[in-house]
Structure 1
């Protein structure tokens, strides 16, 4: 719904088929976890490989354990998260109580995971508002697709940008003045801002006047 003009490809959670990248920019939304080794999940291994190779943007929900990203829960690790830590075109997405403004700041939702002490996670972590009182939808699973939509919109302006460039654009344009007691251990880079990412004064990518049709893959959970 954020980027209705994007081409969307859905994969069922239990569907074992592999991810197939499309022509143009690919954005993979992963609003789920994998607790078995990635060697047992070829599709998820392909998602991680794409994030490390910079051939697709991967937006990964931070999870809803009120704990640090990458830490085990009841002895189990989210292997998909671990595989994406440090990947140049991967973004972890946490949930805020609502979309913030400088006059009405917001805070991390009580259930959302946070980047914590790992500097790599802090550097690739964004937050967005999940206003469940309006939509009856809660959780970081509904935050990550918003950032996926932002990436698709950026691609319509910066049509020659690589997945890694668009990833960096979103991270670099994040706001911190809309957050209560901003701290990178809690909010990572800050609150995702589409307007700042699109603004010429804040971008280092060359704008092009004619948007081309690009691919957008939505992984399970969208």
Structure 2
């Protein structure tokens, strides 16, 4: 719904085949977690390898355990998130209760995982509003595809930009003035702002 002009392909994570990228900008939304080491899964290992190489933009749902991305929730940990920490074209996405404004600041949804104390996670963590009362859905699995849509829109303007440049543009233009008691340990880089990300003539 965010980028209706994008070519969308469904990826079935139950089929353990390596990720196949298409020509042009690839944006891969990861609205799921993995509770076992990535090394045992061909698809997820190829995703981590591609994020390390900056071959596509990856938007990863931060999780819904009300904990830091890299910690246990109910005795489990998301190994896919752990392996995406520090990868150049991966973005973790947390959920706000709604989109914020400077006059009406938003806060993190009570269920959403947050960035935590790891500066690498903070540096690649964004938030976006999920107004469950309006859309009937909630969770960071709803927030992540919004940022994926933003990345696709950026790619349609900045056609020569690399996936890492697109990811960095979203991270670098995030807003902090729309968030209640902004703290990078909670909100990472801030609230994703498509208008700010699209503002320059070109990105480097």
TM-score tier by shorter-chain length is over 0.9
Q: Does 1:118 align with 2:118?
A: yes
| TM value normalised by structure 1 | 0.89
Tell me how far apart the structure 2 counterparts of residues 73 and 112 of structure 1 sit (CA, whole Å).
11
CA separation of 1:27 and 1:142: change in aligned 2, threshold 3 A: same
Secondary structure in structure 1 of the residue aligned to 2:9: strand
Q: Please name the residue that 1:106 is paired with.
A: 106
1:138 deviation in Å? Answer: 0.2
Task: Flag structure 1 segments of 5+ consecutive residues without an equivalent.
Answer: 207-222
Q: Please name the residue that 1:205 is paired with.
A: 203
Tell me how far apart the structure 2 counterparts of residues 177 and 188 of structure 1 sit (CA, whole Å).
13
1:103 deviation in Å? Answer: 1.1
1:52-110 deviation line (CA, Å, top 9, x unaligned): 00001110000000001110223322110010000010000000000111111100000
The structure whose RCO (Cα within 8 Å, separation 6+) is larger is 1
Q: Please name the residue that 2:69 is paired with.
A: 69
Q: Equivalent residues in 2 for 1:130-149 (5 A)?
A: 130-149=130-149
Q: Does 1:14 align with 2:18?
A: no
1:204 deviation in Å? Answer: 5.4
Q: Please name the residue that 2:177 is paired with.
A: 177
Runs of 4+ in structure 1 over 3 Å off: none
Moved more, 17-26 or 117-126: 17-26
- Aligned pair count? 204
| TM value normalised by structure 2 | 0.97
Tell me how far apart the structure 2 counterparts of residues 76 and 116 of structure 1 sit (CA, whole Å).
17
1:15 deviation in Å? Answer: 2.5
1:174-196 deviation line (CA, Å, top 9, x unaligned): 00010001000110000000000
Secondary structure in structure 2 of the residue aligned to 1:143: helix
Q: Please name the residue that 2:56 is paired with.
A: 56
Q: Does 1:162 align with 2:162?
A: yes
